[in-house]
A = this chain, B = another copy of it.
């Protein structure tokens, strides 16, 4: 780390660690969350039919992590309602985004520079939420790694993980997909964060907490901003994800066949092109394409191509 002045890095990360989320970053989080709801199909019609359902849905978008964590730890899921300042703030933002005369507020927030800044600020809150979840888990279960990861993840990506039930509030039911089957970018990046911070807490990862906070936050902010500005939706760790998937879950991995050269070739190709994993899939793309919603595609399944019942089932995931 020769190009970093260590003391200024320490100062920066200390400063970040002491940053207060309330009110500015929280406001950004609420605005981005409510905008995400408003851009869901049907949400605007619902807001004209039932403001109450719309408000409840917005609160689930804003406080989904706290609600889910509450349920998982048997603490009152109604807890977030007791935090009057935050609820008031989120409700005002919900009102302005959905019902402001002439739609000024929403029109303003959709301007690209505003939106990028708000999204970047929301990413900052993610770090704090993951750490809050991990602290909550430690209160009840001490240094249990799995529970720390689960609660940190739930707290940071709760809105996504409960999306099936949030949609139900709005009268929409899409059982055929959920965040476990088809993880979105925020869910994935939160999971990675939860794993890193949990490893740090249990001393498996020998870094300072405030350094990790700085690196993770900078990474999420930069990556999110980059994605918004370029319109890209690729996951930065897709090659690693692909490799892990191929090695662990295809059941046909032969250590001899997968030479280091081939792995590197795949990763380089994956970074350079958008058709990940194609190099190994030529033969089986046709029958497999529709049941591989993750970016990680491959000819997994050929060994079991004989399972006819599954061939039919795969249509469900189209």
Contacts and interface: CB of A to CB of B under 8 A. Distances in A.
Interface in A87-124: 87, 98-103
B144 A307 contact: no
A180 B169 CA distance: 7
B182 A50 contact: yes
A50 B180 contact: yes
B294 A49 contact: yes
Contacts of A291: 45, 48-49
A233 interface: no
A176 to B, nearest CB: 5
Interface in A270-318: 291-294, 300-301, 303-304, 307, 309-310, 312-314, 316-317
A178 B182 contact: no
Contact of A44 (B42, B164, B307): B307
A48 B172 contact: no
B76 A76 contact: no
Contact of A45 (B41, B49, B183, B310): B310
A265 interface: no
Contact of A101 (B252, B294, B310): B252
A74 interface: yes
Closest A-B pairs by Cβ, 6 of them: A173-B175, A42-B313, A53-B180, A74-B76, A72-B78, A50-B181
Given A50-B183, A99-B251, 9 more contacts: A48-B300, A74-B74, A78-B150, A82-B144, A82-B147, A102-B251, A168-B175, A172-B176, A172-B316
Interface of A: 41-42, 44-53, 56, 70-78, 81-82, 84, 87, 98-103, 140-141, 144, 146-147, 150-151, 164, 168-173, 175-178, 180-183, 245, 248-253, 291-294, 300-301, 303-304, 307, 309-310, 312-314, 316-317
